[in-house]
Each structure stands twice: as structure tokens, then as C-alpha cells.
Amino acid sequence: MKQLLALCITIMLAGSLISCEDPLFEPVVLPFTYDGELIWTQETGPAAFSPRYDHASVVYDGAMWIIGGYDPTVRGTEDSYQEDLWRSVDGTSWELITDSSPLKGRRGHAAVLFGDKILIAGGFAVDETTGERSYCNDVWTYSTTEGWEQITADAEWRARMNHALVAAGDTLYLFGGFYDGRYYCDDMYTSTDGTSWEQVTDADEAPVLLPGARASFASCLAGDGKIYLQGGSYYDAVGSNGGTIDPSVPLWQRLWVFDPAAESAGWVVGEDPSGNATRRAEHELAVFGERLWMLSGKANSSLHFSRYHELYSTQVYDTGGTSWSEDSHGSGFGPRYSYTTEVFRPEGCDEDRLYILGGFTDSGAVNDIVYAAMEGE
């Protein structure tokens, strides 16, 4: 039976896409309802970890892990930049592994399972002790047997945050992001060990560029072995509550595809999601039920949660097909951005679930856990 999740959406005035400061918000109530094929459930709220966004997550060693992030609810002598590491085997109960990782307080970093370790790259870090603040181009690994290790303090790529990191087989791909508050990256680097990195080039040794310099986009590795990318923010976007498209990049708004098996060919243009769904940022692409799901975010050129439903609509794409379809006019977990998603099968469960972890909502930063199951499972 299809579950309908009624949502009251508040439009809020948030901080800049490139700001490292607290967002502000101003509520305007708008109703949206999820009526698609997924069954959404509020697993827990609040969870044991503090409210946060711009964090990283990964599935590793039979558990979901959450790494760092930014908690704007922290005030006084404590630091908003989180240094902690959490794990959960069931999605409900969360165990604190450490509250003082050597990463220092960090947001906008990227994490991926690589071999038998978690690998973390880049981000914006704050040392709570010294107050030092910096964009990072370091790479760390963590394992339950060996703990933390910094495998490089100064990678070949420019320090950045809100970028992507994907593990395709035995190769890492890092791309996009921004630094110094305004400079957006259009490069792509690859590594087989996380320590040494090389820029991806075409047959003539020219750099293979992203489909426009962008950050805060959605990206993932699909079951066909290809990397998919959509949306995001870009420099000097004209303000619009419905989002905008980078005029300097033809077909900027479309789904873009990179095939690691044909690396030198670079990125190619894919299909176009419907309407203003193309103009969101700080959203997620997730592979669930053998299809690609595009989940809600915020307008990519506005300080507000947009009033346009397309930014909350749930879009679905069959990587073997040729077009997108709208699963629902609304979101299954409300207006939210800068969250993470993980497909995970908890202990005692006989099906995979699509988890939504944390993020920024109409009520501010949250630490709830929401998940989706396929209808009929």
C-alpha cells in the first residue's frame, strides 16, 4: 500500500551557497505531498549525533558512518565544525567512535569506500584549538583495524570543498568544488592509491573539463559503471528563486555522464530532467532499485528555499533508457539540502533502504533519519 507523506514546507532565507557562516531563515508555509512509488518512514529524530549539514557519510564494515559536518546550533565556547565520527548498524542507534578526529572540524569534504577503508578528501577545516581555518587538499583513510592515517597532506589538486569523490573499481575520481568562496573548479583528477593524483586529459593531453565549473552538484556511480552528474552552483549566477542555468555552458542543466572505461573521451551530455528540476543544488543522485533517483535540494542561485515545487519533486531515470519521469510532485522528506544518502540494509532487515542523513531543512539543521523502501517490498 502506498504511503502518503504530507509535508508542510517552510521557505527560508539561508546562507550563501559558498558561505561558511550560519544561515538565516524566514518562514513561509507551503504544502507539498509525496505521492510516488517509494514508501518513506521517519526512522528516528533526533538521532544521537548533533544536527548538521555539509557532512560526509559512507557504508563500511556492515554499518553506516557519518563524518564531521557543520552544526549551526552550537554556540558559545564550542565549535560548530564537527570533529566526530559515528556509526550505526541499524539506522536507529548511533555509536560515537570519536569526538576528536585528526581531520579537525570539517565540512564540505568527500568520503568514499575504497578497498577496505574509508577515504576522505578535501573540505573546509577549522582547528578548534588554534582557530586556523583553511580549504584542504589532504587525503585521509580510516579503518576499524588501523584507525586514522593521513596519506597525503598536499595532493596535486587545488584545495576545495563541495566537490565529488567517486570510486570506480580500483580508481578514484575527484572533480568539481570551489575554494576561496568564489573560485569554481572545472578539473578532474584520478588516483589508484589516494596519494598520487593525475589530471584526467584527452587524447591530445588537454584537460578533460567538467560540464562547466560547478560545485554542490549531485553525482554518483551507477550500476552500469558510469559516473553521473547533475545541477549544482556556479560563479556569478543571477539571483532567482527558481534557479538558473549557466549561460556559458551549452546544455549545462542536463544529466552529464562520464565513462571510466573511455576516460579520455571526457564527459558527454545525457538526458534533461523536466522543468526547474534541473536548477537545484546541494541535492543528491542515488541509485536505488536499479534506477537513478534525483532528490530534493534548493535553488542553485537563490538564498531561499524556493517556492517552486520542481526543486522538491522526485525525479527518476532508467540508465538503460532515454528519459526522466517525475515520481512525485513533492519530496518524501520535506524541503532539505546538504544532506547525504546511503543505500543500506540494516541488521535484521531483508531489503535495502535508501537513507537520508541529516541536512538543512525549513527548521534549520537536523539530525533525523528518514528512509525509503520500494513499494511492495
Q: What is the domain range of residue 61?
A: 5-374
Report which DSSP code applies to 67.
Answer: E
Residue 90, Cβ neighbours under 10 Å: how many?
15
Cβ count within 10 A of residue 368: 21
pLDDT for the residue numbered 266: 93
The three three-digit cell numbers of residue 355, written as one number: 537513507
311 and 328 in contact (C-beta within 8 Å)?
no
Angle at 290 between CA 287 and CA 293, to 5 degrees: 40
Q: Residue 359: beta bridge partners? A: 366
Count of other CB atoms within 10 angstroms of residue 126: 21
**Rounded distance, CA 269 to CA 211, Å?**
8
Residue keyed to cell 505521492 = 35
The C-alpha cell 576561496 sits at: 180
The residues pairing with 184 across neighbouring beta strands, listed in sequence order, are 178
Of 27, 79, 26, 80, nearest to 52 by C-alpha is: 80
Report pLDDT for 45: 77
Asked whether the CA dihedral 12, 13, 19, 23 is positive or negative, the reply is negative
* Surface-to-core class of residue 172, CB atoms within 10 Å of its CB (0-12 exposed, 13-18 middle, 19+ buried): buried
Q: CA dist 247 to 236, 238, 296, 377, Å?
A: 11, 10, 23, 43
Q: How far is it, in rounded angstroms, from Cα 104 to Cα 80?
A: 11
Count the neighbouring beta carbons within 10 Å of the beta carbon of residue 171: 14
**For residue 139, what are the contacts with CB-CB under 8 A and spacing of at least 6?**
119, 120, 121, 150, 151, 152, 155, 194, 195
Instruction: Return the CATH number at 294.
Output: 2.120.10.80
- Closest C-alpha to 325, from 313, 342, 341, 308: 313
Q: Whole-angstrom Cα distance, residue 204 to residue 17? A: 35
CA distances from 237 to 136, 233, 241 (A): 25, 8, 12
3 state DSSP class of 260: helix
CA distance 141 to 148: 6
Under DSSP, the state recorded for 223 is T
Per-residue pLDDT in tens (0 to 9) along the chain, 377 residues: 333 333 332 323 233 333 333 333 344 345 578 999 999 998 877 999 999 999 999 999 999 999 999 999 887 667 899 999 999 999 999 999 999 999 999 999 999 999 999 999 999 999 988 889 999 999 999 999 999 999 999 999 999 999 999 999 999 999 999 999 899 999 999 999 999 999 999 888 899 988 999 999 999 999 999 999 999 999 999 888 888 999 999 999 999 999 999 999 999 999 888 777 889 999 999 999 989 999 999 999 876 666 677 788 899 998 877 789 999 988 999 889 999 999 999 988 999 999 999 999 888 999 999 999 997 65
**Which pLDDT score, from 0 to 100, does residue 80 have?**
92
pLDDT value of position 16:
35
Domain count, the chain: 1
Residues 283, 298: Cα–Cα separation, whole Å: 7
Side by side, the strands of the sheet bearing 285-288 are 285-288, 291-294, 314-317, 324-328
